[in-house]
Structure 1
Amino acid sequence: MIELTCLCGQLRVQLAKRPDYIHECNCTLCRKTGARWGYFHPSEASVTGASKGYSRTDKSDPAAEVRFCESCGVTTHFILTADAAEKFGNTMMGANMLLAEEADLAGVELRYPDGQAWSGDGEFAYVREARILG
């Protein structure tokens, strides 16, 4: 199990497993929230503590709601918006893997998707070659 915590410790995300890979995306949302995302089925994670959410206002139909600690403001995870969960099923959430202990992620692939140039359809292009953590 991997436990992620915000800076003040009141918001915790417990993950049942390590992520298959981690994305360090260059889109505005990911850069400005300071996140490297690992992806999980919601049943593989539990969140405790109070959080606030933010969905992009520059997109007509945002798919993600980024969650952050009400107290210290650290981004911990994202969930699908209600519209996205209805459209695709509630099958994915993201956890900010920058909050994990480095040793817990040794051997996991870090990928660099070009979210800035991504249209929202199809696969990501990547801005550089992936690397293995640790």
Structure 2
Amino acid sequence: MTNSPIALSCLCGNVGLTVSSQPNFLHQCNCTLCTKTGAQWAYFPPESVSCEGNTQPFCRADKDDPGAEIHFCGKCGCTTHFVLTKSAIAQHGNTMIGVNFALADPADVEGVELRFPDGRGWSGEGAFGYYQQAITLPPV
């Protein structure tokens, strides 16, 4: 695990994110939101992430109370990160930002465990199950 800052960017470079260190693991969830945005989520405390550039927010309309607001580049469309919604913060505190590590250089995720949560099969209560066994990302 690397404790050095890691820089990520969208395809066009309009949005850049910097995180404090390599994540402990990544999630490649199979829910419709994650699969359609192409995300591999890493989770960080909000103070460990900086974002530069303009993003567009999106909240799911198919959920009465979505917990996450997804951000993407308005120029190239890449999903960059998510923040918790006001209602999620009220329930759980402002505990995390999700960063899309599909935007990272492959060398920056070498040795990181990639997990596969079963978001499609999750009831919304309790822990996730997994639809596939975790893998460790190889060297590039």
Give the TM-score of the pair, scaled to structure 2. Answer: 0.94
Query: Per-residue deviation at 1:10?
Result: 1.1
1:133 is aligned to 137
Number of equivalenced pairs: 134
TM-align CA RMSD: 0.7
Give the secondary-structure state (helix, strand or coil) at the position aligned to 2:57.
Answer: strand
Query: Per-residue deviation at 1:70?
Result: 1.3
* Structure 1: gaps of 5 or more residues: none
Give the secondary-structure state (helix, strand or coil) at the position aligned to 2:33.
Answer: helix
1:99 matched to 2:137? The reply is: no
Give the TM-score of the pair, scaled to structure 1. Answer: 0.98
Structure 1 runs (4+) deviating above 2 angstroms are none
Counterpart of 1:13 (choices 3, 10, 17) is: 17
* Structure 2: gaps of 5 or more residues: none
- How big is each residue's C-alpha offset from its partner over 1:37-83, in whole Å with a ceiling of 9 and x where there is no partner? 00111111000100011111111110000000011111000000111
1:121 matched to 2:125? The reply is: yes
Query: Per-residue deviation at 1:16?
Result: 0.5
Query: Per-residue deviation at 1:34?
Result: 0.9
AA of the residue aligned to 1:72: C
AA of the residue aligned to 2:101: M
Structure 2 CA distance, aligned partners of 1:119 and 1:42? 27
Query: Per-residue deviation at 1:85?
Result: 1.1
